[in-house]
Amino acid sequence: MILFLLARVIYPLTTPAMIIDFKAVGGTLMLATGFRMIKVRMFPTADMIPAMLFIMPISWA
């Protein structure tokens, strides 16, 4: 619920480039999770989660 309410505040401040970067990081995380599930390569997916938080300010800068 908190994320839903914060999204209403954060979304108007974002640019299309920021959204694309966020989706790219999410896609990479999903790909790593998929590889981990089928045991191709054991990526440390939990270590990649902070990238979802840091990509917005980095993209904005």
**pLDDT category, 56, cuts 50, 70, 90?**
confident
Rounded to two decimals, the pTM is 0.75
In the block, which residue shows the tokens 């790593």?
32
pLDDT tens digits, one per residue of 3-47 = 788 888 888 888 999 999 999 999 999 999 999 899 888 888 888
The tokens describing 44, both together, are 């440390």
Q: Output the pLDDT for position 49.
A: 84
Q: Output the pLDDT for position 27.
A: 93
Q: Output the pLDDT for position 48.
A: 85
Total residues found in the chain within this entry? 61
